[in-house]
Amino acid sequence: MGFFQFQHITAKYEKDIEEILTYINFDRTRKLSIILFLANITFLFVDYINKADGLWANHSYRCLFYSHVALGLVTIFYIIIGYYRIKAHSANDMALVHKIYVIFFASFILSLATIISGWIDQKIHGQITVYVMICITIAVVYNYKPKITAFLYGSCWIAFMIFLGISQKDPNIRQGNYLNAFLLVVLSYFLSVMLYKLKIRDLIHEYHLENMVAERTKELQTANDLLTQEIFERKRAEEEIIRLDRLNLVGEMAASISHEVRNPMTTVKGFLQLLKDKQDPKGKEYFDLMIEELDRANSILSEFLSISKNKATMYEWCNINDIVISTLPLIHAEALNNDKFLTVELSKVPDLQLDIQEIRQLLLNLVRNGFEAMPKGGQLKIRTFSSDTEVTLGISDEGDGIEQSILEKLGTPFFTTKEQGTGLGLAVCYGIASRHNGRISVETSPKGTTFYVYFELSK
């Protein structure tokens, strides 16, 4: 079970692992070339001493020196190329270049070791150690696929045999060396393959863990998002409840007080009208003013009364677009009077259960606020649109927006920033929306404000 799972994971990450290994091999080649370069300085120094001792009369010592020169040149070349990053067009090209860089170096040092051990060792004993060292170094340093490893070791072993066949005349020594080299190559191959597999296992575990951590992080992130959303919703609901509470209280007060105040007011108005007719023209002005003020007080009371929750509402199935269209003449007239422009975008929306008078009032209140928020020439936009769950009415103006401190108080009865304002318009709107199971949201910026009224579609 464990093994199959391992196989499965290996296949899944094969490409990534291949890339990582290529990079690791590349990096190690750069380091190995530096180490060999530094070691080579010692070799050359020994060569120099040999020369001073007159050993160069033996042809092999000279060959040894030449091989060290070759090693020096190639290592310098590799150091330079390795540090002046090789440029390639794509990531694939880059990987290929890296692979070639690495395999060439490995082949080079192995071939050099083969020449030194297979040929020179037969004249100056002890050089076979170089072969042993390089074979093991390659197994330890590089993580090649077993195929490449087999190719490298196989070809160098054949070369070694050929060199040995030519330069070693003593059949006993030759036989011994054949055997030693063969054992060494086989051992190095197994060492290399084992280390390769261990490395892969290591990487896969790391990967697997990384993936698990990433998955877990993602899960947590989703949970966190949900939680944030929930907190946000809850906060909004709480605010809504506070607002409605306030409305309720005021609504109840409104219902009882308004009637009480209206009756005496009607009486006063009646008598004022009576008295007005008996006055000389100059005094009539004052009476007109008094009556006007009484009418204004009365209209405030009417508005105040419409906050009341207990008011009887008349729901009927109708389309909000029809209500908007039937109110348009009034809105147009107001726009014209105030030098403002109006655009209307009505999408096809489903019917809802609405109290037509109330929705008309809500629309007018929001439209009036929009007009009042804009300078002359401003454009007001009325839109309707719907989703699967709700129908939305949007009223956007091009005013200066609403400050945060004011935003928090919107809908509080009698809260106004206008000299002539009553501060009841929005309170009424919130009341109407809540009676329709709807809600109101505000989007505001220094470029303008949009009030959205959402009506839920009954399932």
Nearer to Mg ion (CB atom), residue 164 or residue 254: 254
Which partner in Mg ion, ligand ADP, none is near 406 (CB below 5 to 8 A by kind)? ligand ADP
CB 336 to ligand ADP: min, Å? 19
Q: Compute the distance between CA of residue 36 and CA of residue 29 in angstroms, rounded to an integer.
A: 10
Beta bridge partners of 381: 343, 396
Q: Compute the distance between CA of residue 382 and CA of residue 358 in angstroms, rounded to an integer.
A: 17
Contact positions vs ligand ADP (CB under 6 A): 365, 369-370, 373, 397, 399, 402, 406, 410, 415-418, 421-427, 449
Nearer to ligand ADP (CB atom), residue 185 or residue 380: 380
Task: State the pairing for strand pair 341-346/439-445.
Answer: unpaired
- The count of C-alpha atoms lying within 13 angstroms of the C-alpha of 36, restricted to the half-sphere facing its C-beta, is 31
Which partner in Mg ion, ligand ADP, none is near 397 (CB below 5 to 8 A by kind)? ligand ADP
Q: Dihedral through CA 98, CA 101, CA 105, CA 111, nearest 10? A: 120
CB 417 to Mg ion: min, Å? 10
Cβ atoms of 82 and 98 within 8 Å: the answer is no
Cβ atoms of 453 and 352 within 8 Å: the answer is no
Nearer to ligand ADP (CB atom), residue 60 or residue 384: 384
Nearer to ligand ADP (CB atom), residue 173 or residue 406: 406
At 382, the amino acid letter reads I
* CA distances (Å), origin 459, targets 243, 390, 392: 27, 10, 16
Q: Is 425 in the site for Mg ion (CB under 5 A)?
A: yes
Nearer to Mg ion (CB atom), residue 30 or residue 368: 368
CB 447 to ligand ADP: min, Å? 12
Binding region for Mg ion (CB under 5 A) out of 61-69, 287-295, 329-337, 425-433:
425-433
* CA distances (Å), origin 279, targets 32, 52, 269: 117, 142, 15
CB 341 to ligand ADP: min, Å? 15
Angle subtended at Cα 272 by Cα 266 and Cα 273, rounded to the nearest 5 degrees: 90
- Per DSSP, the residues of 342-376 read EEEEE-----EEE-HHHHHHHHHHHHHHHHHHS-T
Q: Shortest Cβ contact with ligand ADP: which residue?
A: 425
Which partner in Mg ion, ligand ADP, none is near 22 (CB below 5 to 8 A by kind)? none
Q: Is 399 in the site for Mg ion (CB under 5 A)?
A: no
Binding region for Mg ion (CB under 5 A) out of 67-75, 199-207, 208-216, 418-426:
418-426
Q: Compute the distance between CA of residue 8 and CA of residue 208 in angstroms, rounded to an integer.
A: 12
Which partner in ligand ADP, Mg ion, none is near 423 (CB below 5 to 8 A by kind)? ligand ADP
CB 368 to Mg ion: min, Å? 5
Nearer to Mg ion (CB atom), residue 33 or residue 369: 369
CB 298 to ligand ADP: min, Å? 16
Binding region for Mg ion (CB under 5 A) out of 97-105, 174-182, 275-283, 420-428:
420-428
Nearer to ligand ADP (CB atom), residue 18 or residue 400: 400
At 323, the amino acid letter reads I
Nearer to Mg ion (CB atom), residue 82 or residue 425: 425
Binding region for Mg ion (CB under 5 A) out of 246-254, 310-318, 389-397, 417-425:
417-425
Nearer to Mg ion (CB atom), residue 47 or residue 303: 303
CB 274 to ligand ADP: min, Å? 33
- The count of C-alpha atoms lying within 13 angstroms of the C-alpha of 292, restricted to the half-sphere facing its C-beta, is 6
CB 254 to ligand ADP: min, Å? 14
Nearer to ligand ADP (CB atom), residue 28 or residue 368: 368
Query: Residue 279: which region, alpha, beta or left (left: phi > 0; alpha: psi -120 to 50)?
Result: beta
CB 403 to ligand ADP: min, Å? 9
Cβ atoms of 376 and 340 within 8 Å: the answer is yes
Binding region for Mg ion (CB under 5 A) out of 76-84, 115-123, 322-330, 421-429:
421-429
Q: Which helix (H) or strand (E) element contains residue 456? A: strand 448-456
Beta bridge partners of 393: 384, 453
| Interactions with Mg ion, residue window 342-381 (CB under 5 A) | 369
- Per DSSP, the residues of 326-351 read HHHHHHHHHHHHTT-EEEEEE-----
SS3 (DSSP) at 155: helix
CB 410 to ligand ADP: min, Å? 5
Q: Which residues bind Mg ion (CB under 5 A)?
A: 369, 425
